[in-house]
Structure 1
């Protein structure tokens, strides 16, 4: 789950339009999207968004969200109400929990998953340590995660480093370090695939549609178009759009003869 500001859609009071979306890791399908009201933020819209997702789709699913949504009520909602699991980033918005995680004996813990990637003009190395926990000041937390990232432009010698922490409600026998690392990387599909396509291919941020709920509706329609083309086998959504400009071709795409 992640929020996106529709930069061109400014309300009459000057506030920005934001939508919160839930996207599947495996195929980047947008399962739900919700407009964030002018006088609120993403946090109280977390449960209402997932309330629109069927229990069968959420049952035993692992929900990944950024640090804004590392909220105790969110964890309880996922585990107790929806019988789902979580992998939540932890930053300074939860200072007590962040302090607990930093003080864990990471120096004694081995690196349990290591990966190296090259792409987009840079090289990245990720090292993951995972420890089982009991008594953290966070509901249902069973494992703590430390991810150490090193990045550098291709050909450069100097690395930039970053250490991030996370918690999951899954115990060690249900979530291996490799799986946790995969979920942490997979979370960024919403930024790298969904948001990027809507901004670059559909030029969403340049849209100045702003009346009533039109910006959120148009954002949902862009998701529908992107998903339909993806399911039809298009990896380049821009090419798919060009190929389905005729009404009859568009109907065929949706299985309407």
Structure 2
């Protein structure tokens, strides 16, 4: 279904084109992305749209990139049943655990935890009081 403005989202009120330019290792890259919003302009001003676009990019960089690159989520073979949801929950738990411990480099923290699993187990079990 097309809306009057030609946007292919039935409840869309606004569409914004965002062009991101950045320098990585001396090479300039440019990317264009689109933000589609169901709020009219009176309720979503340009400053709001800019903030939402930046928040989405922040989430993409902090979570999705880590899941895709560090944990190679896209290459995971679980495709049926509860496997994909369980694997995603475990990845999210690992990321949350490391971030909660102040780690900024999740790949490095994961490698460290892989080499010293007893430290990880001691940390997790010592945080919870035992009941008898």
Under a length normalisation based on structure 2, what TM-score does the superposition of the two structures give? 0.63
Alignment match, 1:138: 11
| CA shift for structure 1 position 236 | 0.3
| CA shift for structure 1 position 211 | 5.8
Point out where structure 2 has 5 or more consecutive residues left out of the alignment: none
Structure 1: which 4+ aligned runs deviate by more than 6 Å? none
CA contact (8 A) 1:232 1:253 kept: no
Q: 1:232 aligns with which of 78, 101, 105?
A: 101
Question: CA RMSD for the aligned pairs?
Answer: 3.6
Would you say 1:187 and 2:90 are equivalent positions? no
Change (3 A) 1:178 1:218: same
Alignment match, 2:36: 166
Alignment match, 1:99: 6
Under a length normalisation based on structure 1, what TM-score does the superposition of the two structures give? 0.37
Alignment match, 2:66: 197
Which is bigger in relative contact order (C-alpha 8 A, separation at least 6)? Answer: 1
Q: Secondary structure at the match of 1:147?
A: strand
Change (3 A) 1:145 1:169: same
1: distance between equivalents of 2:118 and 2:51?
40
1: distance between equivalents of 2:33 and 2:68?
29
Q: Secondary structure at the match of 2:51?
A: helix
| CA shift for structure 1 position 228 | 1.6
Q: Secondary structure at the match of 2:16?
A: strand
CA contact (8 A) 1:97 1:138 kept: no
Between Structure 1 and Structure 2, which shows a larger proportion of helix residues? 2
Q: Secondary structure at the match of 2:110?
A: helix
Where does 1:120-139 land on structure 2 (aligned, <5 Å)?
A: 138=11
Alignment match, 1:252: 123
Point out where structure 1 has 5 or more consecutive residues left out of the alignment: 1-93, 101-136
